[in-house]
Structure formats: C-alpha cells, structure tokens
Amino acid sequence: MKYSKALPLIAVILTAFCIQCSVAKANEQCMTPDRANGQCRNLVECPQLLQLLRNTNRSPQQTQYLQQSMCDQIGSLVYVCCKVESVAGARATSNLLPSTRDCGKSFDNRIHGGNVTRIDEYPWLALIEYTKPGNIKNFFCGGSLINKRYVLTAAHCVTGRALQTNVPTGVRLGEWDRSTTQDCERLANNRLDCADPHLDIGIEEIIAHPQYNENAANRLYDIALIRLERDIEYTHFISPVCLPMAEEMRSKTFDAMKMDVTGFGATETGTSSNLKLKAAVDAWTNADCRQKYAARRIYLQNSQICAGGEAGIDSCTGDSGGPLVVRQRLDNRDVYVLAGIVSFGPKQCATAGWPGVYTRVGAYADWILQNIKP
C-alpha cells in the first residue's frame, strides 16, 4: 500500500518574476504560454502542471513556464492556465464510474420509522479498518463506494498525526450489523431476510487531497480516495452511489433540501453503533452556515455543505468520512447522489442549532476524475 503525500503548494514559486502571466479569472478560457487553448483552473486540478511543479529537477525554462501559466489567485488558491486537452483527458475517465443504471440504488421501498436502516438500504456505505501495534483492528471512519475499485472518504480519516498508531489497512463493504457474522433482519411476517456475508478487502493506495491541512479549523479539501487491492463485484447489498458529475450537479449547493446521512456513528473517538443508522437532515444555505461558524472563527467556503443542527442527529449518526446523500432525478431515474462527505461539526455532536459540515463532492468532481484509474 502506498500513500500520495500532501504536496505543499507555494504560491511564491509561481508569482515570483511573473511578468507575462496569463490574464484570466478562475474558470475562464485562457491562452497557455505556448499559445494553446486552456482554462484557468485550480493548480491541483491540472495534472500536467501539477506534475511539473512536483518535479524538483525541472529546468529554469520549465519553472518560467509554470510562472507564466499562473492566471489567478484567490486567497491561498493558485489558478493556472491548463491546456484544454488536459482537462478533457481528466473528464474522459468518467467512463470508469458507473452509469445511473448501476449507481445510487437503495433497494428498500418499505415504509418504516426509526433511525435503523433496512438490511439492503444504502449499499455503498463502507467502513475503514485500522490496525495498530499488536495487530489490533477497529473501525473509526466510513466512506462511500463509487465504483468497483474506489471508496471516497475524508482526508482526515486517512492522513495526519492521529494515524501514526492507527493505520488504515482495509475496507469493509456490505455490513449491516457489526455484532453478528450473518446479518439477518426479521420482517413483519416473522420471516428472516438475510444478507450476503460482508466483504473485507485490503487497501492498495490512499490518495488524500494535496491541499488538505489537518491544522486548518475549516478543514478545506477534506476528501480522499481509497483504491482497493482488487475490483469488487456489485451485489444486492454492495453497490456504488452516484456522483454529482453533470455540470449542473457540480455547482449545486442543495440549499434547504432534505438529505440522508448514514453510518454506524463511527468517529475518531471510537463511539459507534452495531447497526447501520440513518437520519434525515436539512441542508442550510451557505450564507447562513458561514455566518454561524464565523462566530467561532471558522471560515467556511462554497466547497462545503452544512446540514442538520437538530439535537441528537446528523453527525451522531454518520461516520467521519461517510456519505451525505440526496435523492435526485438523473437520466429519468430516481437515484441517490453523494452530495457530501462527513467532515466535522460542533465538539458535542448534533448540538441543537449547529449544523454538521460536509465536504461538497461536486466541487471536487475533476479532482476525483483525475485521480482514479482502471
């Protein structure tokens, strides 16, 4: 298993002596230093230039090319003029993601109350296994299956000081009741509905967003990919969630929409439930949530979603790194879309009036496409 380590992106490298920088604003069309058509994009979303920046043996001419590629800067975010074919190449990998025929299917349609899911609901939910010295294993975070090889989770679940003793070593899929070997649910007619055995699979690679900073109070870029050691097969109890890849979905903020957060309540504190849980939460407007957290000197961005704030639910139900999903109509199908990833919340989970904060997946659509492979 290998880790893609966080890359320090130093704006000084690009801005120094930047006399002939490309002039454009974020997401606008631009011209590269070698006169090719491009788009002004966040540096981490341009694989070609990101690779050049990582190259410590680059020539003076390559450094100059990097400097002249800079087209905008928003706070600490550096934008570069990225060749169109580089952007298109990243989006071409979207064929590695399942179609709406195969994603976002939550099979249960029975009416029921309570916060415990049915045995076949939310089949994309994953648990991340950690191993500490003495070969002691436990589950502290969640994630979402997005295709046959990748699980999407939070960067804070797979990188940082807290993981020096608890190392992520595996992923569990298809779990419903952690206290039993065979998961079975007793139906109203007293018949048992039993699931396939859960699947434990090793981790081949962990890719945390290079701009994630565990010391930042607002936890920007709190997103990571886990590449499994082999492809898995979809079943009734293990299948992927849909991602917000369409242009109109990438920028959607889901203001005031009803959403579902699911998990075992697994967090860094180790508290959790044996049964898979769910809770309905309402998304806040970005403006309202920014104002709320700014009072605590935590400054949120458009790449985050706030939801919940009702006593006793939301972040107490979801796992760190777990899914926040919303029902959407895509390609004439009603499917669940992964809107957010559980990131952080008030110190006392599910405090009334304080929403949980989630990484907005649509803001990282290109980053996901650029970092998955067959």
Catalytic residues: 156, 222, 320
Q: How far from the centroid of its chain's Cα atoms is residue 47's Cα? A: 19
* Residue 304 parent element (H or E): strand 304-307
Which residues lie closer than 8 Å to 274 by C-beta, 6 or more apart?
A: 177, 178, 179, 264
Neighbours of 192 (CB within 10 A): 10
Token pair for 164: 């020096």
Contact 122, 323 (CB under 8 A): yes
- Adjacency order of strands within the sheet including 77-83: 29-31, 37-42, 77-83, 70-74
The letter for the amino acid at 175 is E
Across 317-342, b (16+ Cβ under 10 Å) vs e yields bbbbbbbbbbebebeeeebbbbbbbb
> For residues 197 and 182, what is the distance between their CA atoms, to the nearest angstrom?
6
- 72, burial (CB in 10 Å: exposed 0-12, middle 13-18, buried 19+): buried
Token pair for 92: 């071409």
Across 218-231, b (16+ Cβ under 10 Å) vs e yields bbbbbbbbbbbeee
Dihedral of alpha carbons 287, 292, 294, 299, sign: negative
- Greatest CA separation for the chain: 76
Neighbours of 296 (CB within 10 A): 10
